[in-house]
Amino acid sequence: MPIVDPRVQIEIKRMMPVWDPSRPRRAKDAEDIARLEAALRGRAAGSALSSNSLSDGTKIPPDAAA
């Protein structure tokens, strides 16, 4: 299964309600965006992730934000 870059995941989660108005914004997406952004900031700062999975259990690969 291919790994989708975290920055792309963020864009998809933010834009899906715009692209498909029948799909409302969800709290889960906001949580996932926050976690992905935190992971990207942590990787940029060289710190370890406190959580390596999204709210639905999807794993964030260790090198995803490298």
DSSP 21-35: TTS---HHHHHHHHH
Predicted local distance difference test score (pLDDT) of residue 51: 56
Domain assignment present for residue 15? The answer is yes
Closest CA to 52 of 65, 37, 39, 33: 39
In a domain, 1, yes or no: no
For residue 66, is pLDDT > 60?
A: no
59 in a structural domain: no
Structural domain contains residue 36 = yes
- 38 located within any domain: yes
Q: Which residues contact 56 (CB under 8 A, 6 or more apart)?
A: 28, 32
Contact 64, 8 (CB under 8 A): no
> Each residue of 3-45: pLDDT tens digit?
889 999 999 999 999 999 999 899 999 999 999 999 999 887 7
**Residue 55 is assigned to a structural domain of this protein:** no
DSSP-assigned beta bridge partners for residue 53: 59
- Report how many domains make up the chain: 1
40 in a structural domain: yes
Please indicate, yes or no, if residue 41 is contained in any of the structural domains: yes
**What's the domain range around 19?**
6-45
Q: Please compute Rg for the chain using Cα positions.
A: 12
